[in-house]
Amino acid sequence: MEDTGFVFTTVWFGRRIGSLMTKSLNAPEAGIGWEGWRSNLPQLLILAVIVGAAAYARALPSPLIETLRHALSLSDTQLAILQGPAQAWPLLVLSVPIGLIIDRKSRVRFLQCLGLLIILGTILTAAAHSFWVIVGARCMVGVGTVAILMTFASLLADLFGPTQRGRAGIIVAFSQNAGQAAAFQCAGFLVVHFASSPNAWRLTMLIASVPLAVSCCIALRLREPTRKSVVEHPSILSESLREAWRHRRVIAPLLAGTVMVAIADQSVLVWGAPTLSRVFGLGADRAGSMIASALLLCGIIAPLGGFLADACQRIGGPKMTISALALVALLSVPAGAFAIVASSWAAVGLLIVFITLGGIIGVSITPLATVVIPNEIRGLSLALIYSASAIIGLGAAPLLVSIVAEHVGGPTMLGRSLALISAGSSLCGALVFALGRKAAHDAATRPL
């Protein structure tokens, strides 16, 4: 019966998506109508700038990988550490404290401090002359960017209602993709412009850090919204963890599915440009431009995930939302093989599809989590979900791709390794989301 319902859901949703998306824009929401949207829009735009700047900072080194490899004589494994574990593994220690800060302290001040941390890490990256100093600098940037995403999810839940959060997240999702695209375009252009200098990558990082200072100034205009639907904050950490464990059946599928999608997406974002360079012979500027174009198109199309989440929530609740996520993850499996096609244009086309589908899932997960997870443990739960996706997805995926490539033939096998990891993890994500449908339904119907 469950499997039949899943098939029916996906077919029926495809037939009605157009009309439902239109209705979702105009449907009334208890306590939050057009006036609520208009009053909260400035805050949402500021959040979009902050999230976009964080994505920009994290993506900056990706177009510089080949330049870094030659300038500092780094191996693919060392480059993977810089782009993955260095940015993610500190969250093994910091994820729970970050979640507790989000649940109990001023989230706006926390965001402003995180912005300064990211700027410091970016400048330190440019100034470092040692591999391990760069690792430390990327740790600062990684912690800051992931913590910003956690804080944004908590603020989103207090600014908009359950069936409006997907649409509200559209602007932020576009900003995140635009930030990543700007990083690839800007860094790719600058590193080629300074190609004659032995410090080309350092100059690129320093100049490219200027927009981060602008975003910090804009963050000063953000205000703290009133927390909603809070019964009582657990007084100590053990009580918070015990409450999260009580909701493990709904948290676990979201966590595992997000991790699988993160493995696929981060593998592509880190190794996509080097793959285009090595497999198809493209320069850093052209490879960066292609990745940037893919991210920009993703930023335009992927926000449909916000409409998807809102429409599913209206007509079928969380169970339909997570069913749709399973379908989208399944569709991304063949697109994950972009790195092993014969033509560079075919590769870019599949890359666009893959990044877009991953973006749709990313936009949809946050509003789903804010519906099925109680507010009093929402910050902690989101911290666990985002930290796990960062620690395993961002932290392990780039390293996994380089290790697999080395075992199957060395740097020339990067494309095949990337295809294997991205397609395989997308398939696992589809299975995890499908298995979590009943838990999402039960969570939505639990007594308050």
Distance CA 223, CA 411 (A): 48
Please report whether residue 197 resides in a domain.
yes
The confidence band for 165, taking pLDDT boundaries of 50, 70 and 90, is: low
Indicate the range of 27-36, 137-146, 225-234, 418-427 predicted with least confidence: 27-36
Please report whether residue 246 resides in a domain.
yes
For the segment 234-256, the average pLDDT, to the nearest whole number, is 74
pLDDT of residue 50: 92
pLDDT of residue 38: 66
Per-chain mean pLDDT for the chain: 78
pLDDT of residue 117: 94
Q: Return the higher-pLDDT residue of 402 and 303.
A: 402
Q: Return the higher-pLDDT residue of 156 and 350.
A: 350
Q: Return the higher-pLDDT residue of 62 and 220.
A: 220
The confidence band for 443, taking pLDDT boundaries of 50, 70 and 90, is: low
What spatial distance separates the first Cα and last Cα of the chain, rounded to whole Å?
A: 28
pLDDT of residue 23: 44
- pLDDT tens per residue, range 274-322: 888 877 777 777 777 878 877 777 777 776 777 777 788 788 888 888 8
Residue carrying the six token digits 């993506």: 59
In this predicted structure, the answer to whether residue 11 has a pLDDT above a threshold of 60 is no
pLDDT of residue 229: 55
In this predicted structure, the answer to whether residue 52 has a pLDDT above a threshold of 70 is yes
Please report whether residue 183 resides in a domain.
yes
Please report whether residue 273 resides in a domain.
yes
Q: Are 114 and 151 in contact (CB under 8 A)?
A: yes
Percent of the chain residues topping a pLDDT of 70: 83
The two structure tokens encoding residue 348: 């870019």
Q: How many CB atoms lie within 10 A of CB 18?
A: 11
Residue 134's closest CA among 202, 76, 59, 213? 202
Distance CA 138, CA 153 (A): 23
In this predicted structure, the answer to whether residue 142 has a pLDDT above a threshold of 50 is yes
DSSP-assigned letters across all residues of 90-153: THHHHHHHHHHHHHHS-HHHHHHHHHHHHHHHHHHHHH--SHHHHHHHHHHHHHHHHHHHHHHH
The confidence band for 114, taking pLDDT boundaries of 50, 70 and 90, is: very high
pLDDT of residue 14: 40
Q: Are 299 and 183 in contact (CB under 8 A)?
A: no
**Percent of residues in the chain assigned helix, strand, coil, to nearest 5:** 85, 0, 15
Please report whether residue 412 resides in a domain.
yes
- pLDDT tens per residue, range 21-51: 344 444 444 344 445 566 778 888 888 899 9
Q: Return the higher-pLDDT residue of 288 and 136.
A: 136
pLDDT of residue 20: 39
Please report whether residue 200 resides in a domain.
yes
| Inter-helix orientation angle 107-127/210-219, to 10° | 170
* DSSP classification of residue 446: S
In total, how many domains does the chain have? 1
In this predicted structure, the answer to whether residue 138 has a pLDDT above a threshold of 70 is yes
Please report whether residue 16 resides in a domain.
no
Please report whether residue 180 resides in a domain.
yes
pLDDT of residue 6: 35
The residue segments making up the domain with residue 434 are 40-222+236-444
CATH number at residue 392: 1.20.1250.20
In this predicted structure, the answer to whether residue 16 has a pLDDT above a threshold of 50 is no
For the segment 377-405, the average pLDDT, to the nearest whole number, is 78
Residue carrying the six token digits 């995890």: 432
Indicate the range of 198-202, 300-304, 441-445 predicted with least confidence: 441-445
Distance CA 191, CA 204 (A): 6
In this predicted structure, the answer to whether residue 187 has a pLDDT above a threshold of 70 is yes
pLDDT of residue 445: 62
pLDDT of residue 36: 54
Indicate the range of 56-60, 115-119, 339-343, 393-397 predicted with least confidence: 393-397
Percent of the chain residues topping a pLDDT of 90: 10
- pLDDT tens per residue, range 344-375: 788 888 888 888 888 888 778 877 877 777 77
